[in-house]
Amino acid sequence: MHDVDPLIALAHEGDGGPCDTVYLGFGLAAHGGLTTGELPLDALAMLVVAERQRRLRGAQRILHLVADRHALVNAFATRREVARAADALVDQLEALAPALGLQAYDVVRASQLTAPEYRRLVADAGQRAPDPYGARQAADVEWMRRAHGAAVKVGWTLSARPDGVARRDEVAFDALHRQLFGPGLATVYTGPGRSLDPDRPRCSPYVLLAGQRRLTLASGAGSVAEHCASSRMRRHLRPIAERVLQQLGVVAVADTPLQDRLELLLALLRGDARPDAPLAQPAVAA
């Protein structure tokens, strides 16, 4: 299904079958560290893309997996730390969904997937794929397809090139899913998150590591101004701000600076502003 969405970096069309559920997952670990549990602003891109896909495809709901069990493959991650991070993330997502107007939205933890059929899928994928982590990712996707009618998955990718070599990201995991279980699932990918760290500017959109210089849903005006001072960051944040404001029911007037748009967006999500705030006008439905 063709969709011109500036937040979609890459897409792979499925078989066009009926779609009951749009599926996406957030992990808890990246680059040798565990998330602080605070949600970066970048993560909103995946959520608004998922909601747009739900509407376009006539799906009943969005099903969002928090991959707590997966984080435990890392030697640095203890069960207590993973549980704490998962609790914090789930709490934020469940509070964020109504603020974003996501009415048909459910969160599930990987540790809650205990059905015998799911366990058999994990075992089957593990026997047929050399990478245990990739096999579990593929089994998760197949379970969502079989048990919940997921026909589209929203993910993210570091590269918009479909022919990336030796990649280890969601594009590779979804290719493994197609290899193991067939080509029926459609996949769409946003780009990566972005940090002010010059040594590692691209990062997971939903994993915030300790000390990372990134905008979060709790960021104040000073942090917003710091990010808007970077031309690369402005290019990254502008389409996210426009699409999230549209999802919230408003569009900023054409000459509104990005910094003001972001401050309005964050205020709306925190309940500190109204959609008819002075910087906003009624939005045309997406």
Q: Where are the domains of the chain?
A: 8-193, 219-282
Q: State residue 17's pLDDT score.
A: 84
Give me the count of residues in the chain: 286
Which residue, among 237, 239, 241, 248, has the nearest Cα to 271 in the 3D structure? 248
Nearest residue to 107 (alpha-carbon basis) of 99, 96, 115: 96
pTM: 0.92
Residues of the chain under the 70 pLDDT cut: 1-3, 162-168, 251-253, 277-286
Buried b (16+ CB within 10 A) or exposed e, 134-173: bbbbbbbbbbbbeebbbbbbbbbbbbeeeeeeeeebbbbb
For residue 3, the model assigns a pLDDT of 64
Contact assessment for residue 44 and residue 240, using Cβ atoms and an 8 Å cutoff: yes
CATH of 8-193, one of 3.40.50.620, 3.40.50.300, 3.40.50.740, 3.40.920.10: 3.40.50.620
Looking at residue 35, its pLDDT comes to 94
pLDDT of residue 2: 53
Q: What is the pLDDT of residue 166?
A: 46
247, 51 contact by CB (below 8 A): yes
Residue 260: φ, ψ to 5° = -70, -35
In this prediction, residue 119 carries a pLDDT of 96
H or E segment to which residue 12 belongs: strand 8-12
pLDDT of residue 279: 66
